[in-house]
Amino acid sequence: MNGVGEVIFTGSEQEIRERLHALSCRFYNKRAEYIFLARNVPIKFERDYLAENIKGFGYKESSHFLRNMGHSDYAILDKHVLRAMQEFGIIKKIPTMNKKNYLILEKKLKLFSKYLNISMDELDFVLWSRKSGEILK
């Protein structure tokens, strides 16, 4: 498997940490800890549940996790995407991020994606790539 692959589901916390580090993942120590701990929680694939019950997960992380698990229609609103949304006039300013603001911004991005006739998943990836200068598989 490419990337982190099987180690997320079966590896020790140290193995996850080493794989994330080898992939130049930011915050690999904490992410490895959170992934390892999350495996022991009965997963309900609901973003609210993940954000409220998994240590280290907010709405952005929960959205990212669910998208990686094959669920679509969740925006990953990181600083790159938020800055791009501001540049394109989708939002006037970047607010303090909390649940309410995250959901409002996600709804705005969803409307913009419908206007452009592109899925929100693809749109936030394009916005992220444009601002970060990276294109990942």
| CATH 1.10.1670.10 intervals, the chain | 59-137
pLDDT of residue 1: 44
pLDDT of residue 45: 61
pLDDT surpasses 50 at 49: yes
pTM: 0.66
Name the percent of the chain in helix, strand, coil, to the closest 5.
60, 0, 40
**More reliable by pLDDT, 19 or 3:** 19
**More reliable by pLDDT, 61 or 134:** 61
pLDDT of residue 44: 55
End-to-end CA distance of the chain: 13
Mean pLDDT, the chain, integer: 86
| Catalytic residue (one of 78, 93, 99, 121) | 78
| Catalytic residue (one of 44, 55, 60, 110) | 60
Taking residue 43's Cβ as centre, other Cβ atoms within 10 Å add up to 15
Is CATH 1.10.1670.10 the right assignment for the domain spanning 59-137? yes
The whole-number average pLDDT for the span 106-133 is 89
Residue with tokens 């997320």, as numbered in its chain? 8
Q: What is the pLDDT of residues 55-109, one digit of tens each?
A: 889 999 999 888 877 777 889 999 989 999 999 999 999 999 999 999 999 999 9
**Weakest-pLDDT range from 9-18, 35-44, 80-89:** 35-44
pLDDT surpasses 70 at 115: yes
Alpha-carbon distances, residue 94 vs 34, 55, 56, 78, 113 (angstroms): 27, 25, 22, 11, 19
**Catalytic residue status for 60:** yes
pLDDT surpasses 90 at 110: yes
Calculated CA dihedral for residues 65, 67, 71, 74, nearest 10 degrees: 100
